[in-house]
């Protein structure tokens, strides 16, 4: 254990969202090409909102100017775009003047302010992105080029910006500042994971330890379990370290699952050992007896649980594959320690055996009677309930919306909501539009096509802003004709357009160049489309609509949208598809194992019902109540499956034992209720409480997983108690 | 109290050292003064050694490379005229890409105030004045800015000599220079490696406004013209932030050409081919 644990020092944790993606994710590959061609897009958007009036005041513009300067000082910043440093171009005789829209805001006259307002609200580059159309909120966009390992950089950047904004808030009390963007998202994720790991996981630990103590009525027995948990966790983490794994936020689930399984396993071993001790004065013989009784079921449940988690390997997302492998390893550790460490500790610890009430509980006997008496009614009633719930499954929309990953507890969420409501969308689609030849971007035809695509996009209801290259050319054409608005159109002569562009490029300062919009060969330009109020499915449909439009109108430009937004729009779908395959494979494998174990094809097939139905019911209920399933949803089935299969195994093996002892099906059901009913009920209570703690996370990933696993486990108990027995009584009529 | 006694001893040791140093074949400024003065002296001396070249022409080929490995070429010709008592005048004629062929950029560099620049657009047959005093933007989409390409005027920087260190077979002085007009430069400082023999620049590191190492320029293939003036054959600029780079090759240096002052006027710009 110590040797394994030593590996933990090699563990690294990353909060980079990119590690969610597999290397062959097609959207990621496209995005990497885009970033390598133009520039990296790690962004921060700061919204600046005066509490009263418009942003076109000396104070607010001054504040933006200060913030622009401070943003340039932010670590890793490569570009800052704001209302004040916007390169306004105009003509003065034979001179092309390109200068920041606002310089020395505090010295501007009222006439200057009016001029700035007029320019800003009419500039397609600004309005709807860096200034709201009503002029009440302004935006400041910072782009960062981050090192390969981004986690540290994300902290540096966000710490710096938060300090800058706090200072700005102190010196401009009439202005509100909001910070969002994918860099801030990464930071928030790190904070959320820290909270989950640092606060929620320990709570889960205490909840289930207290639960176990109540269950065992033995503090020292619980102590033994705590040791099994600690040993299993340390060994698993050490193992991950030795493998050199980079841990992701997803891994938060691992300790909880390992704890839960350690409890479930150890409780069985200790309960029987304690029961034996009451009868047998020889402690060690009692413990050995418990091992003999438990070895097989514990081995069996461990193997099926491990198989369940290993099926996470089907996931498209590397962190889930790692989670599956680590939990599977952890489960085997639990098996090992509960067969070695646990009996050793039980033998050493001065356990006291207490007289316990007679075996079985009258409550469960009555419950068993009820189930047997009403079996036909229950079968129909539960089946109807299942059907009713399952019809809710299609109501789930598969969607990961990063703007909703966190609840309002997090400032990031509040800031993002503010930006969406008051300034611009935060989801953007990136198009790299190819002109087909070097220097082709100034071809009038290319410019016309790109422009008509941009115009079509601007007419779409979900679009808040389109940043397109032709806008600059129109503006330059106008400037070159003495700022005559009639010339705000695309130049007809390709050479002239290229020369305008050269002139413009020679006029803009450092950090304002077009290298992030134009490729080096001037053969392609980048178009950034900001959208708002669109779900993942809406984004995919929007992308398809855009592609259809391109194919129909400008086939030469046809291309898919790319960008982080699009990666996430496809991510969950990809994962759910791959996880569906994995879950089915896992279930099939486990069913085969069960068929072999029960030596009965019929039992193996029947076991599918209580194993499969709870997850379906949980998703159905989710569909009615919430209706949105993210990435976390795709692994709920697998996580819950590993736990509920254990219940099925205990129930069915007890039932079969009774049947083999000669009981008829109804009698065997009564017998099963009496023997395993209380244990199943209490473990479910403990486990579901443990998972329920995660519902208090502010991070959707943990929240959804915690809630859905809880629901599934509870449904599983219902299925085991109310559906499985009537089913057995209906099908299993043969005599043994 | 002990320091007072120690001081004469130090001075006694220090003076012979200075004398020893002066015998070595090193430029006399290295030990003469504060690092700031030494730096200024190196810059002044380097500039002085280029005095009197009169004029020259050359061809430039730029190869731009992005992180994706994509390449693109630019080709230009430059004509430079030395101006006594002020910055040089230069004329850059663009040959490639084809759509900007014949476009010409005229620059009147100044020692202290902002440079003047005009661009002739052949498609418009007009000269446009470039108002911006800022030369820090990307030059033709490359990793060079115009600021990086123009010979640095001594007066536009303050200096600080850092150290000597070997560079290849030579020994270089390493000097920092800081732009006087912070607003018009894209950098907070540059670190320059110049060999002690000929004061040629071999390497420049550019630090952006938050003092992060942004770009590195390496210069090579120096040749001497008219037995006096050194000109580089190769320059390579790497942007560490974006992973993009630009190779700049200089060929066909010609000195003592027939270029006149009027070739470097606005009317001369229209005739430039």
Q: What is the 3-state secondary structure (H, E, C) of A588-620?
A: HHHHHHHHHHHCCHHHHHHHHHHHHHHHHHHHH
Q: Does A36 touch chain B (CB under 8 A)?
A: yes
Q: What is the pLDDT of residue B31?
A: 54
Q: What's the token pair of residue A120?
A: 């800003």
Q: How far is A546 from chain B (nearest CA, A)?
A: 26
State whether residue A211 is helix, strand or coil. Answer: helix
Q: Does A434 touch chain B (CB under 8 A)?
A: no
Whole-angstrom CA distances from A561 to A423, A456, A514, A573 are 23, 15, 20, 17
Q: How far is A41 from chain B (nearest CA, A)?
A: 11
Instruction: Decide if B137 and A510 are in contact by the 8 Å CB cutoff.
Output: yes
Looking at the predicted structure, is the pLDDT value of residue B30 above 70?
A: no
> Which stretches does DSSP call E strand in chain B?
55-65, 71-81, 89-96, 104-108, 116-121, 126-130, 157-167, 170-179, 189-195, 201-207, 213-220, 223-225, 229-231, 234-239, 245-255
Instruction: Decide if B66 and A36 are in contact by the 8 Å CB cutoff.
Output: yes
Looking at the predicted structure, is the pLDDT value of residue B14 above 60?
A: no
- Strand-pairing partners, residue A100, are A87
Torsions phi, psi for A424 (to 5 deg): -165, 170
pLDDT band at A80 (very low <50, low <70, confident <90, very high): very high
Q: Which residue has better confidence, A634 or B85?
A: B85
Q: What is the pLDDT of residue A279?
A: 75
* Residue of A408, A247, A420 whose CA lies nearest to A318: A247
Per-residue pLDDT tens over the stretch A364-419: 778 888 888 888 888 888 888 889 888 888 888 777 777 788 888 899 999 999 99
Looking at the predicted structure, is the pLDDT value of residue A698 above 60?
A: yes
Q: Which of A381-395, A574-588, B86-100 has the lowest mean pLDDT?
A: A574-588
A-contacting residues in B 210-249 (Cβ below 8 Å):
210, 212, 241-244
Rg, C-alpha atoms of chain A: 32
Q: What is the pLDDT of residue A425?
A: 86
Q: Find, in chain B, the residue whose alpha carbon is nearest to that of A69.
A: B209
Q: Find, in chain A, the residue whose alpha carbon is nearest to that of B97.
A: A439
Q: Which residue has the tokens 């004040």?
A: A84
CA–CA dist B133, B184 (Å, integer): 7
Instruction: Decide if B137 and A499 are in contact by the 8 Å CB cutoff.
Output: no
Closest CB from A72, A507, A520 relative to B141:
A520
Looking at the predicted structure, is the pLDDT value of residue A558 above 80?
A: yes
Looking at the predicted structure, is the pLDDT value of residue A62 above 90?
A: yes
Contact (CB, 8 A) for A640 and A713: yes
Mean pLDDT, chain A, whole residue set: 85
CA–CA dist A479, A95 (Å, integer): 9
Between chain A and chain B, the number of residue pairs with CB atoms below 8 A apart is: 142
* Vertex B103: Cα angle to B98 and B105 (nearest 5): 140
Per-residue pLDDT tens over the stretch A81-114: 999 999 898 888 888 888 889 999 899 999 999 9
A-contacting residues in B 169-208 (Cβ below 8 Å):
184-186
CA A626 to chain centre: 16
Q: What is the pLDDT of residue B132?
A: 63
Q: How far is A244 from chain B (nearest CA, A)?
A: 28
Q: Does A219 touch chain B (CB under 8 A)?
A: no
Whole-angstrom CA distances from A546 to A469, A543, A567, A680 are 18, 5, 16, 54
Q: How far is B213 from chain A (nearest CA, A)?
A: 10
pLDDT band at A735 (very low <50, low <70, confident <90, very high): low
CA–CA dist B146, B137 (Å, integer): 7
Q: What is the pLDDT of residue A3?
A: 67
Looking at the predicted structure, is the pLDDT value of residue B158 above 60?
A: yes
Instruction: Decide if B100 and A495 are in contact by the 8 Å CB cutoff.
Output: yes
Looking at the predicted structure, is the pLDDT value of residue A577 above 80?
A: no
Contact (CB, 8 A) for B65 and A37: no
Q: Find, in chain A, the residue whose alpha carbon is nearest to that of B125.
A: A496
Instruction: Decide if B138 and A522 are in contact by the 8 Å CB cutoff.
Output: no
**Which run of H or of E encompasses A397?**
strand A397-398
- DSSP 8-state symbol, A200: I
Residues A503-526: what's their mean pLDDT? 87
B-contacting residues in A 69-88 (Cβ below 8 Å):
72-78
State whether residue A70 is helix, strand or coil. Answer: helix
Instruction: Decide if B137 and A519 are in contact by the 8 Å CB cutoff.
Output: no
Looking at the predicted structure, is the pLDDT value of residue B15 above 60?
A: no
Q: Exposure pattern of A318-335 as b/e (b: 16+ CB <10 Å)?
A: bbbbbbbbbbbbbbbbbb
Per-residue pLDDT tens over the stretch A230-247: 888 888 888 888 877 777
Q: What is the pLDDT of residue A171?
A: 93
CA–CA dist B46, B194 (Å, integer): 9
Looking at the predicted structure, is the pLDDT value of residue B2 above 50?
A: no
Looking at the predicted structure, is the pLDDT value of residue B166 above 90?
A: yes
Q: What is the pLDDT of residue B20?
A: 46
Q: Does A439 touch chain B (CB under 8 A)?
A: yes
Task: Give chain A positions within 8 Å (CB) of B119.
Answer: 499, 502-503, 506
Substitution target in A506, A515, A517, A522 with the highest count of B β-carbons within 10 Å is A506
Instruction: Decide if A519 and B243 are in contact by the 8 Å CB cutoff.
Output: no
State whether residue B200 is helix, strand or coil. Answer: coil
CA–CA dist A332, A310 (Å, integer): 12
Instruction: Decide if A94 and B241 are in contact by the 8 Å CB cutoff.
Output: no
Q: Find, in chain B, the residue whose alpha carbon is nearest to that of A147.
A: B241
Instruction: Decide if A521 and B131 are in contact by the 8 Å CB cutoff.
Output: no
What percentage of chain B carries pLDDT values higher than 70?
87
**Helix and strand numbers, DSSP H then E, in chain A:** 25, 13
Instruction: Decide if A514 and B130 are in contact by the 8 Å CB cutoff.
Output: no
Residues A149-165: what's their mean pLDDT? 90
Instruction: Decide if A510 and B122 are in contact by the 8 Å CB cutoff.
Output: no
Looking at the predicted structure, is the pLDDT value of residue A667 above 90?
A: no
Looking at the predicted structure, is the pLDDT value of residue B133 above 60?
A: yes
Q: Find, in chain B, the residue whose alpha carbon is nearest to that of A443.
A: B99
Give Cβ neighbours of residue A27 (< 8 Å, ≥ 6 apart). Answer: A562, A566, A567, A570, A571
**Which run of H or of E encompasses A521?**
none
CA–CA dist A682, A216 (Å, integer): 10
Looking at the predicted structure, is the pLDDT value of residue A14 above 70?
A: no
Q: What's the token pair of residue A587?
A: 């279930």
Q: How far is B69 from chain A (nearest CA, A)?
A: 9
Substitution target in A502, A519, A562 with the highest count of B β-carbons within 10 Å is A502
Looking at the predicted structure, is the pLDDT value of residue A268 above 80?
A: no
Q: How far is A687 from chain B (nearest CA, A)?
A: 49
What percentage of chain B carries pLDDT values higher than 90?
52
CB count within 10 Å of CB B188 equals 16
Instruction: Decide if B65 and A520 are in contact by the 8 Å CB cutoff.
Output: yes
Q: What's the token pair of residue B231?
A: 């000109």
CA–CA dist A45, A43 (Å, integer): 7
A-contacting residues in B 14-73 (Cβ below 8 Å):
64-68, 70-72
Q: How far is B61 from chain A (nearest CA, A)?
A: 14
Beta strand pairing call for A628-629 and A397-398? parallel
Instruction: Decide if B242 and A519 are in contact by the 8 Å CB cutoff.
Output: no
Please, what are the domains in chain B? 50-156+167-271 (2.50.20.10)
Taken in order A587, A590, A592, A595, the sign of the CA dihedral is negative
Instruction: Decide if A498 and B99 are in contact by the 8 Å CB cutoff.
Output: yes
Looking at the predicted structure, is the pLDDT value of residue A429 above 70?
A: yes
* Vertex A705: Cα angle to A701 and A711 (nearest 5): 150
Q: Does A91 touch chain B (CB under 8 A)?
A: no
Q: How far is B115 from chain A (nearest CA, A)?
A: 13
Q: Does A492 touch chain B (CB under 8 A)?
A: no
3-state secondary structure B160-173: EEEEEEEECCEEEE
State whether residue B5 is helix, strand or coil. Answer: helix
Q: What is the pLDDT of residue A574?
A: 78
Q: Does B121 touch chain A (CB under 8 A)?
A: yes
Task: Give chain B positions within 8 Å (CB) of A438.
Answer: 72, 97
Which range, A315-329, A483-497, A530-544, A557-571, has the best average confidence (pLDDT)? A483-497
Using left for φ > 0, alpha for ψ between -120 and 50, and beta otherwise, residue A522 falls in: left
* B14 burial via Cβ count (<10 Å: 0-12, 13-18, 19+): exposed
Taken in order A230, A236, A240, A243, the sign of the CA dihedral is positive
pLDDT band at A733 (very low <50, low <70, confident <90, very high): low
Contact (CB, 8 A) for A233 and A331: no
Give Cβ neighbours of residue B174 (< 8 Å, ≥ 6 apart). Answer: B161, B162, B163, B164, B165, B191, B192, B193
CA–CA dist A446, A470 (Å, integer): 9
CA–CA dist B259, A391 (Å, integer): 86
CA–CA dist A471, A488 (Å, integer): 9
Residues B225-235: what's their mean pLDDT? 93
Instruction: Decide if B72 and A75 are in contact by the 8 Å CB cutoff.
Output: no
Instruction: Decide if A505 and B131 are in contact by the 8 Å CB cutoff.
Output: no
B-contacting residues in A 546-605 (Cβ below 8 Å):
none
Substitution target in A80, A89, A495 with the highest count of B β-carbons within 10 Å is A495
pLDDT band at A49 (very low <50, low <70, confident <90, very high): very high
Contact (CB, 8 A) for A155 and A144: no
Taken in order A634, A640, A646, A652, the sign of the CA dihedral is negative
Q: Which residue has better confidence, B233 or A511?
A: B233
State whether residue A182 is helix, strand or coil. Answer: helix
Residues A699-710: what's their mean pLDDT? 86
Q: What is the pLDDT of residue A10?
A: 64
Q: What's the token pair of residue A32?
A: 């990497």
Q: What is the pLDDT of residue A175?
A: 93
Q: Does A506 touch chain B (CB under 8 A)?
A: yes
Q: What's the token pair of residue B64?
A: 């731009």
Q: What's the token pair of residue A33?
A: 């090409």
**Which run of H or of E encompasses A382?**
helix A375-390
Q: What is the pLDDT of residue A570?
A: 82
Contact (CB, 8 A) for A423 and A530: no
* Residue of A182, A159, A166 whose CA lies nearest to A75: A159
Q: What is the pLDDT of residue B194?
A: 94
Substitution target in B102, B104, B128 with the highest count of A β-carbons within 10 Å is B128
Q: Which residue has the tokens 């490379």?
A: B65
Q: Using omega within 30 degrees of 0 as the cis cutoff, is the peptide bond preceding B74 cis?
A: no
Start-to-end Cα distance in chain A = 47
Contact (CB, 8 A) for A405 and A532: no
Q: Does A512 touch chain B (CB under 8 A)?
A: yes
């Amino acid at each position: 254990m110590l040797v394994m644990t030593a590996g933990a020092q090699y563990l690294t944790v990353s909060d980079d969202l990119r590690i969610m993606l597999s290397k062959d994710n097609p959207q990621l590959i496209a995005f990497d090409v885009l970033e390598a061609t133009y520039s990296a897009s790690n962004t921060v958007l700061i919204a600046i909102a005066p509490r009263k009036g418009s942003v076109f005041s000396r104070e607010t513009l001054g504040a933006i100017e200060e913030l622009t300067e401070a943003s340039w000082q932010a670590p890793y910043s490569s570009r800052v775009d704001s209302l004040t440093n916007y390169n306004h171009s105009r003509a003065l005789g034979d001179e092309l003047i390109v200068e920041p829209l606002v310089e020395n805001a505090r010295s501007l006259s009222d006439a200057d302010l009016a001029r700035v307002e007029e320019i800003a609200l009419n500039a397609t580059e600004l309005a709807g992105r860096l200034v709201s159309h009503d002029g009440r909120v302004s935006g400041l966009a910072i782009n960062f080029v981050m090192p390969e390992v981004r986690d540290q950089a994300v902290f540096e950047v966000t710490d710096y910006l938060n300090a800058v904004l706090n200072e700005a808030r102190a010196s401009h009390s009439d202005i509100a500042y909001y910070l969002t963007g994918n860099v801030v998202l990464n930071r928030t994720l790190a904070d959320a994971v820290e909270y989950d790991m640092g606060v929620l996981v320990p709570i889960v630990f205490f909840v289930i330890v207290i639960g176990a103590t109540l269950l065992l009525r033995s503090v020292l027995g619980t102590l033994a379990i705590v040791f099994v948990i600690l040993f299993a966790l340390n060994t698993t983490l050490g193992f991950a370290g030795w493998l050199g794994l980079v841990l992701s936020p997803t891994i938060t689930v691992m300790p909880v699952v390992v704890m839960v399984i350690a409890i479930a396993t150890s409780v069985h071993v200790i309960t029987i050992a304690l029961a034996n001790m009451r009868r047998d004065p020889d402690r060690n013989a009692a413990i050995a007896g418990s091992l003999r009784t438990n070895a097989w079921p514990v081995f069996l449940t461990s193997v099926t649980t491990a198989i369940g988690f290993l099926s996470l390997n089907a996931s498209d997302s590397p962190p889930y594959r790692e989670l599956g492998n680590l939990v599977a390893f952890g489960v085997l550790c639990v098996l090992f320690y509960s067969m070695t460490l646990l009996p050793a500790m039980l033998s050493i610890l001065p356990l006291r055996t207490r007289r316990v009430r007679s075996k079985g509980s009258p409550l469960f006997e009555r419950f068993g009677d009820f189930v047997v008496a009403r079996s036909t009614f229950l079968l129909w009633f539960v089946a109807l309930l299942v059907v009713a719930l399952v019809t809710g499954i299609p109501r789930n929309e598969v969607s990961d919306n990063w703007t909703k990953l966190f609840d309002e507890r997090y400032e990031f969420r509040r800031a993002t909501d503010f930006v969406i409501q008051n300034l611009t969308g935060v989801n953007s689609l990136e198009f790299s539009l190819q002109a087909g030849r070097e220097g082709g971007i100034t071809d009038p035809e290319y410019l016309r096509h790109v422009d008509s695509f941009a115009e079509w996009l601007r007419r779409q209801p979900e679009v808040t802003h389109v940043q397109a290259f032709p806008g600059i050319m129109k503006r330059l054409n106008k400037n070159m004709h003495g700022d005559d608005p009639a010339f705000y159109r695309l130049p007809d002569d390709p050479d002239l357009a290229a020369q305008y562009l050269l002139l413009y490029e020679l006029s803009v300062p450092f950090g304002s160049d077009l290298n992030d919009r134009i490729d080096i060969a001037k053969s392609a330009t980048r178009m950034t489309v900001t959208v708002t109020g669109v779900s993942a499915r809406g984004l995919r449909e929007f992308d398809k609509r855009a592609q259809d439009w391109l194919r129909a109108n400008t086939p030469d430009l046809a291309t898919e949208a790319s960008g982080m937004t699009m990666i996430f729009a496809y991510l969950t779908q990809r994962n759910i598809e791959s996880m569906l395959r994995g879950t089915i494979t896992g279930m099939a494998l486990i069913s085969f194992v069960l068929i072999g174990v029960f030596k009965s094809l019929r039992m193996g097939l029947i076991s599918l019902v209580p194993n499969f139905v709870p997850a379906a019911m949980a998703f159905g209920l989710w569909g009615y109540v919430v209706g949105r399933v993210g990435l976390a949803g795709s692994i709920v089935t697998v996580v819950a499956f590993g736990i509920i299969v254990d219940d099925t195994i205990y129930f069915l093996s007890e039932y079969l034992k009774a049947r083999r002892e000669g009981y008829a099906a109804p009698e065997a059901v009564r017998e099963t209720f009496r023997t395993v009913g209380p244990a199943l009920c209490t473990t479910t209570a403990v486990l579901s409480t443990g998972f329920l703690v995660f519902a208090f996370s502010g991070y959707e990933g943990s929240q959804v997983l915690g809630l859905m696993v809880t629901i599934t486990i509870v449904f599983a108990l219902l299925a085991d108690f109310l559906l499985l027995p009537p089913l057995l009584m209906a099908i299993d009529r043969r005599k043994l | 109290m002990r320091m007072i006694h120690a001081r004469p001893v130090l001075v006694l040791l220090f003076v012979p050292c200075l004398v020893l140093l002066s015998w070595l074949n090193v430029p006399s400024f290295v030990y003469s003064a504060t690092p700031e003065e030494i730096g200024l002296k190196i810059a002044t001396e380097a500039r002085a050694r280029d005095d009197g070249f009169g004029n020259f022409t050359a061809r430039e080929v730029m190869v731009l490379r992005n992180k994706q490995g994509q390449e693109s070429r630019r080709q230009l010709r430059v004509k430079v005229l030395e101006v006594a008592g002020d910055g040089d005048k230069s004329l850059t004629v663009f040959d490639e890409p084809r759509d900007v062929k014949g476009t010409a950029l005229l620059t009147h560099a100044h020692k202290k105030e902002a440079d003047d620049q005009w661009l002739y657009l052949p498609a418009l047959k007009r000269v446009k004045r470039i108002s911006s005093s800022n030369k820090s933007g990307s030059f033709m989409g490359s990793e060079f800015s115009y600021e990086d390409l123009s010979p640095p005027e001594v007066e536009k920087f303050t200096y600080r000599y850092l150290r000597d260190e070997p560079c290849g077979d030579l020994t270089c002085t390493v000097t920092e220079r800081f732009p006087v007009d912070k607003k018009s430069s894209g950098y907070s400082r540059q670190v320059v490696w110049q060999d002690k023999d000929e004061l040629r620049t071999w390497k420049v590191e550019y630090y952006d406004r938050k003092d992060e190492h942004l770009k590195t320029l390496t210069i090579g293939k120096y040749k001497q013209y008219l037995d006096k003036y050194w000109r580089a054959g190769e320059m390579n600029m790497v942007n560490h932030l974006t992973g993009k780079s630009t190779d700049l090759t200089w060929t066909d240096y010609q000195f003592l050409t027939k270029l006149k002052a009027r070739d470097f006027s606005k009317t001369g710009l229209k005739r430039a081919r």
